[in-house]
Amino acid sequence: MKKVIFIFILVFCMSVTLYAADLVNKDSKKYTIEVTTYGTLNTSIGSNTTLMGGAPDGATIKIKETGSTIKVNGSKPVIIKDGKLSQ
């Protein structure tokens, strides 16, 4: 029974990671971002930085400073360039 539970947890964690996109800031500015999935997470991303798995599939991401918003679709990276989000 413990083995079945362990395998289930392992598969679940892998599936969540597989569908999370990286968040890449190509600007020379630091931004405050809001990631909304089941709740809202406010965090920041430094200039020329990548947050690995920082954007879950289906999440909405908003840059507080510019108002740019995007809904994440799949695991393709979400890019911040010139204060705008794209995927």
Q: What is the pLDDT along the chain (87 residues), one digit of tens a residue?
A: 566 665 655 454 544 445 688 999 999 999 999 988 887 888 889 999 888 888 888 999 999 999 999 999 988 999 999 999 999
Q: What's the confidence (pLDDT) of residue 78?
A: 95
Alpha carbon distance 3, 55 (integer Å) = 31
Q: Cα separation of 52 and 62, whole Å?
A: 17
Give the CATH number of the domain where residue 47 resides: 2.60.40
Q: CA 49 to CA 24: how far, in whole Å?
A: 6
Q: How many folded domains does the chain comprise?
A: 1
How high is the pLDDT of residue 20?
Answer: 84
Which 8-state DSSP code applies to residue 26? -
Amino acid in position 59: A
pLDDT at res. 82: 96
Tell me the residue range of the domain where 25 lies.
2-86
Burial of 53 (0-12, 13-18, 19+ CB in 10 A): middle
